Structure 1
Amino acid sequence: MLRVALFTDTFAPDVNGAALTLARWTEYLREHRVPCIVFAPEGDRAQPAGPDVERFRSIPFFLYKECQLAIPNAKQINNRLSSFSPTLIHVATPFNLGLFGASYATKHHIPLVASYHTHFDKYLDYYRLRWLEPALWKYILWFHRNCERVYVPSQSTFSELKNKGFRNLEIWSRGIDANLFSPAGQREQLWSKWNIRPRKHIILYVGRLAPEKGIDILLESFRRLPERLRSETVLVVAGDGPLSRSLDAAAHGLPADAVQRLGFVTGKDLAEWYGAADLFLFPSATETFGNVVLEAMASGTAVIGAGEGGVKDLISHGNNGWLCPAHDAAAFAEAAALLLDNGALRRRLADAGRESSRAHSWDSIFRRLLASYRSAAASPKMKPAARM
């Protein structure tokens, strides 16, 4: 019988692509009567432990302050694993909890799988730590050395890791809740609800407000719009992060109400903004997938994204969206101006994007992953690993 132990340093109630995907996946396992236990951090506020989730005190990760690194309690984990008797261990992050899970799998000869969610190496440039890259890749390769499967979210990530020497790679894509994200945003209601002066156009950004997300490119591309367009357009920013307090200062020189920061928005409120926007502008060049891009597409909103990482796997340039060179604010501004001026092209891209999103059904994605889990759990028991 399949029994899964998941070790992750990001999990609900965290709100990021990895945490939300893992929470949805564990719920799917339980719905399909697959016993599953999760080992995760407490996060910013203490989260109670339960029959399915063990929580641990944690500290912020220096590259991603909203991500908490758990401080594992070996006795607590060993006791739970001993009574749970997992037949498969899944490590979703290569840090403290992931290390413990991988070590336990090796020691007890339990099949091990991993999922790769974040290009931490791509963050290094934004924090002036590029010199760490060789050591980081050496460690990441070592961490995944015994995995029966390494699940990656996109073809671009698959190719990149294969070139780095990873083995046993398999694509675990991401899905969309088509009932939540749909072209149903009522613009007039949003103006009133959020106390925003009405404009002709809305450009939307959703995501973490951090250097690696290209927030500087977002603002500069908006600033570079022709005045005739910028004066009748509002840039709506939904998200939080280390740049949230400095966003207003970064927008200096623009009209006071030209950039509207919503803060942290989820669920129906977020879906309403997706559906009401004319354009979704996403300049991040560090994505392994790009969940927010898929959400915008499902909402019938034309997307302009950076031609890097997982985003370029979702967008076919000029067909279901628009790709721009990464870090090129002038190109993003030119694309935004083109699509704001050309309603027919914008609607064509939006319609094609929505149609593309239909291929991303959570149910079909999870069915394939569960079959892969069962195959990995049935593989020969692991041999003790070589030392780093």
Structure 2
Amino acid sequence: MNVKDLRIALFSGNYNYTRDGANQALNRLAEYLIRQGAHLRVYAPVVPDADFEPTGDLINVPNIRMPVKNRGEYRLPLGLNGAARDDLEGFAPNMIHISSPDPTGHAALKWARERDIPVLASVHTKFETYPRYYGLGFLEPAVEGILRRFYNRCDALVAPSPSQIEELTAQGMHDDITIWSRGVDRDVFDPSKRDMEWRRSLGFADDDVVIVFLGRLVMEKGLDVFADAIVELRRRQVPHKVLVIGDGPARGWFEKALPGGVFAGFKTGRDLGVALASGDVFFNPSITETFGNVTLEAMASGLPVVAAGATGAASLVDDGKTGHLVPPGDAGAFAEALAPYCTDDALRLAHGAAGEQAARAYSWDAINQAVLDTYLRLHTARAAAS
């Protein structure tokens, strides 16, 4: 099949209304597919004043505010209404890509199976871990079971790291899972973006070692573990400062847990590159990411990374060379890993430089071609079986 014959319907729970790593990857993929000549239409919630303009044609699906405390900025897609179904029928896709196992994703999968259209699902986050951050940890086995049934009804999965593929395989999610990694924009994330004047404007001295958090301020990003590790560093009297880049519903909680921390707010584009490169150590305790875009961006910016040894970072951080991997949730171990970077300039600079070198391998076009190749493979297999 020729790329120009592909007609791809992409389903997303959040394509552009709230900026996050997953929808940044989806929009980059969309741009690449369109540039290669494929036909693409996106089905996702549409809201006024979205965070950014969508790439490609965006069709609204029925949705409500997420019925979870402190997550009202997200929308829950509710399926496919008549207008969305009519548009889908008119578009006549020959490939379905589902990026979120929400009610609309389930409806799209059912629609595709009824018409014998191949379905690719991309895994962007560890949904089964979310209940624990809202006092509902007992639901995790049920959520995992729902995900297993959903993913096994798809033709194949793509996931962003070898460690994530190993975990999905162990969970029985599918037996056809390939890599769709993530890239990094080196025009934005680079050590040359470091700005000492910007640092000084926030009250940091030139010789301060600044530990950076970057991400949406929601509890599932490991904010409690981050705060506990910083408290432990202070208890040990390890010299450091804290810079938080990002915003979200848990900001008030995080500010109270990190007295003296500098909260720079939400940043994007060049401003984000400057903020990240102007730190000294990146600390990412989250276990919910399947890849960890922010970890790669920190590496490209020349920062050593201390991260949870979970699927998001395990395939990026070379333990002992570009940073350290720590058992998830262990605040004391995180403090132990952070401390040497706060006191040993040579170690910090060496591991940061090694991470920057490793980040050079992540090209967006090569990464997105892997998804396009998977579309073509699935379509060829379906045609051969007909």
Same fold (TM > 0.5): yes
Q: Does 2:87 match 1:85? A: no
Equivalent residue letter for 2:33: L
SS of the residue 2:44 aligns to: strand
Deviates more, 1:297-306 or 1:166-175: 166-175
Q: 1:228/1:169 Cα in 2 relative to 1: closer, same or farther (>3 Å)?
A: closer
**Aligned match of 2:211 in 203, 217, 229?**
203
SS of the residue 2:197 aligns to: helix
**Equivalent-residue separation in structure 2 for 1:358 and 1:291 (angstroms):** 14
**Which residue number corresponds to residue 220 of structure 2?**
212
Contact kept? 1:109, 1:381, Cα under 8 Å? no
**Which residue number corresponds to residue 53 of structure 1?**
58
**Which residue number corresponds to residue 386 of structure 1?**
none
CA RMSD across the alignment: 2.3
Q: How does 1:19-30 map to 2 (within 5 A)?
A: 19-30=23-34
**Equivalent-residue separation in structure 2 for 1:51 and 1:283 (angstroms):** 34
**Which residue number corresponds to residue 246 of structure 2?**
239
Deviation at 1:375, TM superposition (A): 1.0
Q: How does 1:178-197 map to 2 (within 5 A)?
A: 178-191=186-199, 195-197=202-204
Equivalent residue letter for 2:20: N
Deviates more, 1:46-55 or 1:215-224: 46-55
Equivalent residue letter for 2:185: D
Q: Does 2:40 match 1:32? A: no
**Aligned match of 1:103 in 81, 93, 110?**
110
Q: Does 2:12 match 1:8? A: yes
Contact kept? 2:62, 2:81, Cα under 8 Å? no
Q: How does 1:369-388 map to 2 (within 5 A)?
A: 369-380=371-382
Q: 1:227/1:143 Cα in 2 relative to 1: closer, same or farther (>3 Å)?
A: closer
**Equivalent-residue separation in structure 2 for 1:155 and 1:48 (angstroms):** 32
**Equivalent-residue separation in structure 2 for 1:318 and 1:13 (angstroms):** 38
Q: 1:319/1:132 Cα in 2 relative to 1: closer, same or farther (>3 Å)?
A: same
Deviation at 1:224, TM superposition (A): 2.2
Deviations 1:114-171 (A, max 9, x none): 1111111112222121221222122112212232211111112111111121221112
Q: How does 1:234-273 map to 2 (within 5 A)?
A: 234-251=241-258, 254=259, 258-273=260-275
Contact kept? 1:290, 1:311, Cα under 8 Å? yes
SS of the residue 1:314 aligns to: coil
Contact kept? 1:229, 1:337, Cα under 8 Å? no
Deviations 1:9-47 (A, max 9, x none): 011242111111001111111111111000011247469
Deviation at 1:236, TM superposition (A): 0.6
The size of the alignment, in residue pairs, is 376
Equivalent residue letter for 1:172: W
**Aligned match of 2:122 in 89, 112, 115?**
115
**Equivalent-residue separation in structure 1 for 2:16 and 2:59 (angstroms):** 12
SS of the residue 1:56 aligns to: coil
Deviates more, 1:43-52 or 1:90-99: 43-52
Q: 1:10/1:381 Cα in 2 relative to 1: closer, same or farther (>3 Å)?
A: farther
Contact kept? 1:113, 1:148, Cα under 8 Å? yes
SS of the residue 2:252 aligns to: coil
Deviations 1:225-249 (A, max 9, x none): 257965x532010112221122222
Contact kept? 1:89, 1:113, Cα under 8 Å? yes
**Aligned match of 2:170 in 163, 173, 177?**
163
Contact kept? 2:193, 2:278, Cα under 8 Å? yes
**Equivalent-residue separation in structure 2 for 1:333 and 1:307 (angstroms):** 14
**Which residue number corresponds to residue 361 of structure 2?**
359
Deviation at 1:77, TM superposition (A): 1.7
Contact kept? 1:304, 1:324, Cα under 8 Å? yes
TM-score normalised to the size of structure 2?
A: 0.91
**Equivalent-residue separation in structure 2 for 1:363 and 1:23 (angstroms):** 13
Deviation at 1:310, TM superposition (A): 2.0
**Equivalent-residue separation in structure 1 for 2:119 and 2:163 (angstroms):** 23
For structure 1, the residue ranges without an aligned partner over 5 or more in a row are 384-388
Q: 1:50/1:296 Cα in 2 relative to 1: closer, same or farther (>3 Å)?
A: closer
Q: 1:281/1:143 Cα in 2 relative to 1: closer, same or farther (>3 Å)?
A: same
**Equivalent-residue separation in structure 1 for 2:370 and 2:228 (angstroms):** 42
Deviation at 1:97, TM superposition (A): 1.8
Deviations 1:172-225 (A, max 9, x none): 1111111211002344321355x4353522111101212221112212222222
**Aligned match of 1:143 in 146, 150, 153?**
150
Contact kept? 1:110, 1:382, Cα under 8 Å? no
**Which residue number corresponds to residue 304 of structure 2?**
302
Deviates more, 1:317-326 or 1:45-54: 45-54
**Equivalent-residue separation in structure 2 for 1:382 and 1:246 (angstroms):** 56
Q: How does 1:305-344 map to 2 (within 5 A)?
A: 305-344=307-346
Deviation at 1:78, TM superposition (A): 2.0
Equivalent residue letter for 2:77: A
Deviations 1:323-369 (A, max 9, x none): 12221222222222211211111111111111111111111111222
Between the aligned residues of both structures, percent identity stands at: 34
SS of the residue 2:315 aligns to: helix
Q: 1:382/1:115 Cα in 2 relative to 1: closer, same or farther (>3 Å)?
A: farther
Equivalent residue letter for 1:82: E
Contact kept? 2:193, 2:273, Cα under 8 Å? yes
Deviation at 1:55, TM superposition (A): 1.9
Deviates more, 1:343-352 or 1:68-77: 68-77
**Equivalent-residue separation in structure 2 for 1:50 and 1:296 (angstroms):** 26
**Equivalent-residue separation in structure 1 for 2:249 and 2:200 (angstroms):** 28
**Equivalent-residue separation in structure 2 for 1:128 and 1:115 (angstroms):** 27
